[in-house]
A and B are shown apart, each in its own frame.
Chain A
Amino acid sequence: MKRRLIAALFFLMLLGIWELLCRAKIWSPVMMPEPLAVGEYLWESLRDGTLGQATLVTLRRLLIGYLAGVAIGLPLGLLTARFKTVEDTLGVIALGLQTLPSVCWVPLALLWFGQTEMAMLFVVVMGSVWSVVIATDNGVRTVPPIYARAARTMGSRGLHTWLKVILPAALPFIVSGMKQGWAFAWRSLMAAEIFVTILTGFGLGHLLHYGRELHAMDQIIGIMLVIIAIGLLADKILFSPWEKYLHRRWGTD
């Protein structure tokens, strides 16, 4: 309770300082709108539906792309950990592509897929899949062999061992890889939306882009706040429960 109070006070203070600086007229209001103006923009765009619509469009792209990334990356990671040939081929590709900043996929996606949803999806998948592959591979390799041996003596074989022993044993690594994949997917999607105008849906990145075109600073800051909030919420809703569960089970803290 006390911690929350302190945190709330801290953010109120930040808002206060922001407001004070604006009143002191250090910057022109065009460059730095006051908090109220940003709030007003958010409220207005919420009421006329643009904000909600754009958030939905963006989240939909993100979720679909990310889930596809995990669905592809997890089995690939298991394969690279299991088979030497896959490790020497796909594993190397994954390692290389993971170092590529995900924004770099945008030009390629545009030329390949044009200004379509497919391009967006492609960017998100490419942004997330490699870190999931590498984290899964890494996680599986660090599983102490004694777990598999113990499982074998209890009658576990092949696929059962992989699903019931190796996979859960590697879970802490996999979850942190999925979290990293999420962060990359989010970043790459924003980049794609800012750079690419597409006709099928108007996402948060587009709002940001048009904010710039229109010199609407209240819009830019408002949308940035929304993007931050979504990132935080995703962390709390998607990953925090997993991590808490794992910490409790494994006793890591």
Chain B
Amino acid sequence: MTTLAEELNPVSPEKLVVDAVSKTFRARRSAVPALDNVSLTVQEGEFVCLVGPSGCGKSTLLNIIAGLEKPDSGQVLADGKAVTNPGRERMMMFQESALFPWLDVINNVMFGLKLKPNLNHQERREVAEYYLHLVGLDKFLEANVHELSGGMKQRVALARALAPNPRVLLMDEPFAALDALTREQLYSDIQRIWQERRKTIIFVTHNVREAACLGDRVVVFSPHPGRIREQFSIPLPRPRDINSVEVAQYSGEIVKALKQYLPATPETVTANS
């Protein structure tokens, strides 16, 4: 039986290895090469941001890492073990919150916990309450999903992803649908939570500035087929402010790099959208 303290404290997370992963989507007539020989190593506790224009395979890569999709070739190792299925140690957060409207807030957060053995109801509830507190939603335990704002929904989704205590958090443009102010609030929240809970995070975004603000490392993709082109490490101290000059400098560099790979439609990636 795990105690609450054990439940809340991370067991040492470990790195992910994406090893020469390729994936092509075949339709009746066409074949879309979504990922071409992508390799990436993520250290434990690292915050990695993936940026790149639309359609370069970021979501596909994240889904493969999550185990929701299978690569055509290559493999993903988590903990040195090949990923074949989704697992609780890698939680995914989607662009739309994907919260379940038939459950209230706390039961949404408890959904994953209920699938975790060795916890009784009381402990599950305490864990769920802890994470809802962490994202600042103590007062909305019994609220229905439709009563929440977009930002609150993403906070609940974050709490839901954190609650089973995954070692890896996979976030697919989680804040893209939110307004700038709410997003800024969430940037500081996610940095605080990441520091407190020491997760490994892979964060997909269109927004280079967001990537520079959040990531230890920013990985730049190019489309058709999706490939990793460049990587930037961002050694700025935390917490970082999205509006700071340093973040702006890094994001400028990354945008410059990105523009090389998309001569046709430069507006698909912007420094701050």
Contacts and interface: CB of A to CB of B under 8 A. Distances in A.
Interface of A: 146-147, 149-156, 160, 164-165, 168-169, 171, 248-251
Query: Which of A147, A153, A165, A168 gathers the greatest number of chain B CB atoms within 10 Å?
Result: A153
Secondary structure class of chain B's binding surface, majority of residues: loop
B94 A151 contact: no
Interface string B131-162: 00000000000001111000000000000100
A165 B88 CA distance: 17
B145 to A, nearest CB: 8
B214 interface: no
A155 B86 contact: yes
B241 interface: no
B181 interface: no
B94 A249 contact: no
Interface string B58-84: 000000001110000000000000000
A160 B66 CA distance: 19
A159 to B, nearest CB: 13
B100 interface: yes
Given A249-B144, A251-B146, A251-B147, A153 B102 contact: no
Given A152-B86, A249-B144, A251-B144, A168 B100 contact: yes
B98 A155 contact: no
A84 B96 CA distance: 29
Contacts of A153: 66-68, 86, 90-92
A146 B102 CA distance: 14
13 contacts: A147-B100, A149-B98, A152-B86, A153-B91, A153-B92, A154-B160, A155-B88, A168-B102, A169-B100, A248-B144, A249-B104, A249-B146, A251-B147
Interface in B100-145: 100-104, 111-112, 115-116, 144-145
B102 A249 contact: yes
B100 A155 contact: no
B102 A171 contact: yes
Contacts of A146: 94, 96, 98
Nearest to A156: B115
Contacts of B144: 248-251
Contact of B88 (A150, A154, A169): A154
Query: Which of B88, B98, B160, B164 gathers the greatest number of chain A CB atoms within 10 Å?
Result: B98
A171 B102 CA distance: 9
Query: Which of A155, A160, A248, A249 gathers the greatest number of chain B CB atoms within 10 Å?
Result: A155
A150 B115 contact: no
B87 interface: yes
Interface residues of B, number: 27
B111 A149 contact: no
A152 B146 contact: no
A152 B100 contact: no
B164 A155 contact: yes
Given A168-B102, A250-B101, 16 more contacts: A147-B98, A150-B100, A152-B68, A152-B86, A153-B92, A155-B86, A155-B88, A155-B112, A156-B115, A164-B111, A169-B100, A169-B101, A249-B101, A250-B102, A250-B144, A251-B145
A148 B68 CA distance: 11
Interface of B: 66-68, 86-88, 90-92, 94, 96, 98, 100-104, 111-112, 115-116, 144-147, 160, 164
A155 B116 contact: yes
A125 B145 CA distance: 37
Contacts of A165: 100
A155 B164 CA distance: 10
Contacts of B92: 149-150, 153
Nearest to A165: B100
A149 B91 contact: no
A146 B94 CA distance: 9
A178 B19 CA distance: 51
Q: Give the 4 A-B residue pairs with the shortest CB-CB distance, closest first.
A: A251-B146, A154-B112, A155-B115, A150-B98
Nearest to B157: A150
B67 to A, nearest CB: 8
Contacts of B66: 153
A111 B144 CA distance: 52
Nearest to B111: A154
Contacts of B86: 152-153, 155
A142 B91 CA distance: 25
A55 B232 CA distance: 78
